[in-house]
Amino acid sequence: MNLPFLPNHDESSFFDFISKQYPGLTLGGNSGGVFPGTQESSRGGGALTVPQATTVLAIKFQQGVVIAGDRRATEGFQIADRRIEKVFKIDEHSAMAIAGAAGPCIEMAKLFQTELEHYEKLEGMSLSCEGKANKLGQMVKANLPMVFQGLVVMPLYVGYDLKRGEGRIFKYDITGGRYEESDYHAIGSGGKDARNTMREHFQRQLPEAEALKLALMSLYNAADDDVGTGGPDLVRGIYPTAKFVTSQGITDVPNDKIRAVYDVLLAARRSKET
């Protein structure tokens, strides 16, 4: 869709611009309370059945934050996707992971990427880490009408604060409320199980390798107890995804490295069972 050129447009926020000019294009922008293409409404219908992205987490370490997620999406009692991506690079020093209705979650991640890029081009500077977290909260709040149809978008945002010289973790509620976590956090259907593992093993100033190991172990333990969370699939070669967020930028953790960590973890687990 081609948007017309508007001479009087001076919005530094792309999200605010399309919310005003083209409200139907934004998350929660359909004021009729009916999700396009459905007959259900938030006033009288049931919740929609859509693929759900499940467990994601973030852990601070010496140089920044590691953010990771499993690969499973569920739809009711069935597996909708085994290879869904839940961890997204937003800009050079921030990333977000998604839990909730997969389609709207992915749309919000892409819109957030565009929002920050648009702001930087118009203002000639990047938003602060705090400003980015606040902006994401506004976008989550805008999705509130869709929550009543079961289309919940629940992000986990991490960024490296260049002014403070540290990684930061932010969680949200469905109203857009933003809360900072000091050490680690996990959300999604297996979030509680993952947090239990992190609570038991987390230490301040973890080395990078140990933080990755803890993240992957937490996802594995969550998958052990939660049917919505996918563990490592050794047959298909499907493993969780992870990114490091540091002062140097965003680094994707290679699949081979994740597999090697799981090889060690699973070998240790098998030795305990015998």
Residue 177: what residue type? G
Phi, psi of 95 (to 5 degrees): -150, 160
DSSP for 124-146, written as a single string: SSPPPHHHHHHHHHHHHHHTHHH
CA-wise closest residue to 219 among 63, 89, 97, 124: 97
DSSP 71: -
Which one of the listed residues 38, 49, 54, 251 is annotated catalytic?
54
What length does the chain have?
274
DSSP run (H or E) holding 18: helix 14-21
Measured CA to CA, the distance from residue 92 to residue 94 in angstroms comes to 6
Measured CA to CA, the distance from residue 108 to residue 110 in angstroms comes to 5
Joined together, the tokens standing for residue 55 give 């467990």
Based on the residue annotation, tell me whether 197 is a catalytic residue of this protein: no
Catalytic positions: 54
